[in-house]
Amino acid sequence: MDIIAPISHGGILLTLVDSCGSRSIFYGVPTLLLSPTRAKANIRRMAERAERHGLQFMPHFKTNQDPAVAEWCREAGAKAAAVTSLRMAKTFLAAGWRTLTIAMPIH
């Protein structure tokens, strides 16, 4: 599938072309667009590198903020994660994560 024309004005309008033809899809902002195949491969690579160096694989969920992506991390062996707010901690606790580090400054 190819992305033909990204446009950003309060959202993203993508024209996608695949074997079924073309179609336009509007995404509001913020929107996470990624390739699950590539993302899972990158997550596995990070987990393997941590293991090779004797480190715990503890991803930071600041960017993705998505329980589905977090689940891919868990499938790769993550047992703990970092978040940046109490709101994010609540989201990931509700998704079954039990070991979270809240990585934010306290003033």
Q: What is the pLDDT along the chain (107 residues), one digit of tens a residue?
A: 444 444 444 555 666 656 666 666 666 666 666 778 888 999 999 999 999 999 999 999 887 788 888 999 999 999 999 999 899 999 999 999 999 999 887 77
Residue 35: its pLDDT value, please? 78
**Three-state DSSP class for 99?**
coil
Range 6-21 burial, b when 16+ CB lie within 10 A, else e: eeeeeebebeeeeeee
> E-assigned strands of 1-107?
2-3, 7-8, 11-18, 21-28, 81-83, 100-102
Residue 14: its pLDDT value, please? 61
Residue 63: its pLDDT value, please? 74
Sequence letter at residue 107: H
